[in-house]
Homo-oligomer: A and B are copies of this chain.
Amino acid sequence: MTELRNQSVRDLLTNAKKASKTLARAERNAALRAMQARLLEAEPEILRQNAVDVQQERQRGTGEALLDRLTLTGARLREVAQGIEQVIALPDPLGRTLDGWRHPKGMQIEKVSVPLGVIGVIYESRPNVTVDAAVLCLKAGSAPVLRGSASALNTNRVLVRAMRLGLRDVGLPEDAVTLIDSADRASVTELLEARGLVDLVIPRGGAGLIQHVVTHAKVPVIETGVGNCHLYVHRDADLEMALNILLNGKTQRPGVCNALETLLVDREIAPVFVPLAVRALRSAGVEVRGDEDARMYAPGVEAASDTDWESEFLDLILALRVVDGLSGALEHIARYGSQHSEAIVTSSLHSAREFQESVDAAAVYVNASTRFTDGFEFGFGAEIGISTQKMHARGPMGLAEMVTYQYRVTGEGQIR
C-alpha cells in the first residue's frame, strides 16, 4: 500500500490524473461496494483514530457543536456506508448520449457524457464528507483529491486507507482516491494552481473557505453553499401559508444554506402580518431584528443593522423588513441576495410570474419553502453541493453535473 504522507502535492495529483484515466471504463459500482466493505471492516480503527482527533480538538478548547461535527460513531459510520449503497443504486452518469444528429454530409455526431478527470474537494471538519465526496466523484468517473481540515486528519487518513484498499481489491489503482495528507496551507495553494492536473475544485464549507478558494484558484471552481435566502410575503398572500413557509424556512434546520435569513413584508399587509410573524417566530425561539417600519408594528423587536441584511445567520435569528410592494422586494433581493434560493408567497399570478422572471437565483419559489433546494429533494439521488454560480452547474449539483461531454463524430471520409 502506497503511503500518501511523504508525497508532494504535485506527485499526488500526477498519480491521481493517471489513475483517473482508468475510471470511465472500470466497474465503478464494484469498486464502491468493495470500499464499503473495507470501511465497515475498519470501523474499530476508524473510531479509535476519530477519538484521537476529537480528544486533540477538545484540548484545544473547541466548542461542543464543532466537536459533534467531528465525531464519528458506529451508527454514523453505518449511515455513511448506507449512503454508498444509495450511490451504487443511481444510474451511471457516464456514456449517456445527451444529444445526437446527422451532419448534412452524413457523419453521425453524438454528444456523450464523459468524466471530468480529477476533482479536488476542500472541506471542513465533518469526516463523513471524506467518504461521501469520494464516492460521488468515483461514481462520476473522476478521481477525488481530498483536502479535509487539520482537525480530522487522523480520521481522514484511516478512511482514505480503507477506500484505497477497496479499490485495490477490485484491481483499480489506489490513486483513484487521494488524500492530501498535510495540515499545511501551502498544500491547498498547490492544489488550486495545478492547471492541467486538476479539472475542478469544489470547496465545501463556510464563506471564508469559499472566498479563499475562489480568489486563489487558477483551476476551475464551483462555488457552493452560501445562502442568504429571502421570503417575500406579497399583499395578496394567504397569511397562514406564509407563516408556515416562514417557520419552516427559518426553524426546521437553521444551520443549512437553504434556510431563510430575511423576511420581506409588503407594506400593505405589514400592520397585520408583522405582529403575527413576530409572535410566531418568538414562540419558536427565533430572535427577530427589524427595520424601523417593522418595529412600529411589533414593539420590542431589536433594530436590524446594515450588516444584518447581508448576513447568513445559520442560526435562530431573522432579519425583517417592510418593503414597498414587489418592486421593493426585488430591489432588496437584487442587492443582498446570494443567488441561492428566494421565495414569494402570493395568490397573484402576475406577481408570481414577475418574481420568478426577475429574481436572479438558482431556485425561485412561489408558495413553497426554500428548504427544498437540495439534490435529494430535487430527485437527483445525491448531491456534491449547491452551486451559487452560473457556469456549468447552478443549484443542486448531482452526478449529472459532475461530468462533462465530448462530441464523437463518425464518418466515411468526409472532408470540408
Whether A369 lies near B414 (C-beta < 8 A) is yes
**A14 at the binding interface (Cβ < 8 Å):** no
Q: How far is the CB of A324 from chain B (nearest CB, A)?
A: 19
> Which A366-390 residues sit within 8 Å CB-CB of chain B?
366-369, 371-373, 377-379, 389-390
A241 and B413 alpha carbons, distance in the complex (Å): 5
**A109 at the binding interface (Cβ < 8 Å):** yes
**A170 at the binding interface (Cβ < 8 Å):** no
- A168-180 vs B, CB cutoff 8 Å, 1 = contact: the mask equals 0000000000000
Q: How far is the CB of A201 from chain B (nearest CB, A)?
A: 11
Q: How far is the CB of A98 from chain B (nearest CB, A)?
A: 11
Q: Which residues does chain B contribute within 8 Å of A378, judged by CB atoms? A: 103, 109, 407
**A29 at the binding interface (Cβ < 8 Å):** no
Whether A390 lies near B117 (C-beta < 8 A) is yes
Q: Which residues does chain B contribute within 8 Å of A363, judged by CB atoms? A: 406-409
- A190-203 vs B, CB cutoff 8 Å, 1 = contact: the mask equals 00000100011000
> Which A216-239 residues sit within 8 Å CB-CB of chain B?
218, 220, 222, 238
- A320-348 vs B, CB cutoff 8 Å, 1 = contact: the mask equals 00000000000000100000000000000
> Which among A130-138, A147-155, A279-287, A353-361 touches the partner chain?
A353-361
Q: How big is the A interface, by class? A: 35 or more
> Which A114-149 residues sit within 8 Å CB-CB of chain B?
114, 116-117
Whether A368 lies near B409 (C-beta < 8 A) is yes
**A15 at the binding interface (Cβ < 8 Å):** no
Copies of the protein in its oligomer: 2
- Give A215's nearest chain B residue, CB to CB: B218
Whether A357 lies near B117 (C-beta < 8 A) is no
Q: Which residues does chain B contribute within 8 Å of A220, judged by CB atoms? A: 389-391
Partner pick for A414 among B372, B392, B413, CB 8 A cutoff: B372
In the assembled complex, 26 residue pairs joining A and B whose CB atoms fall closer than 8 Å, in A order, are A107-B368, A114-B360, A116-B390, A200-B390, A200-B391, A238-B413, A360-B406, A364-B406, A364-B407, A365-B410, A365-B411, A366-B408, A366-B409, A367-B411, A367-B412, A367-B414, A368-B412, A368-B414, A371-B415, A371-B416, A372-B409, A372-B416, A391-B391, A394-B405, A394-B406, A394-B407
